[in-house]
Amino acid sequence: MRYENVMGTRRFDTVFDYSKNGCMIAVTCVCGHKAHLDPKEVSKVCIRKGLDLRIPAIRARLKCSACGNRDVQCGPAVQD
């Protein structure tokens, strides 16, 4: 897994920006736990449930599966 340093050059505002760029959503917790979400799966779930597809809204709904913390960061990751 390669982490892209593209935050300054490309916008990753919604899950569609991730799928468009072929990126996974890398979720990092303050405890060090990392998870990768498939933007296509996330958008499918959001559309079905009528939820907001913007990253800040998705981030607010996420919870670390390791420690239960809600203070998680989202960023783009590209699969090698």
Residues 26-65 that bind Zn ion (CB under 5 A): 29, 31, 33, 64
- What's the rounded Cα separation, in Å, for the pair 7 and 53? 18
- What's the rounded Cα separation, in Å, for the pair 8 and 51? 27
- What's the rounded Cα separation, in Å, for the pair 47 and 4? 27
Q: What's the DSSP call for residue 10?
A: S
User: Nearer to Zn ion by C-beta: 34 or 54?
Assistant: 34
Q: At closest approach, how far in Å is the CB of 29 from Zn ion? A: 3
Q: At closest approach, how far in Å is the CB of 65 from Zn ion? A: 8
Enumerate binding residues for Zn ion (CB under 5 A): 29, 31, 33, 64, 66-67, 69
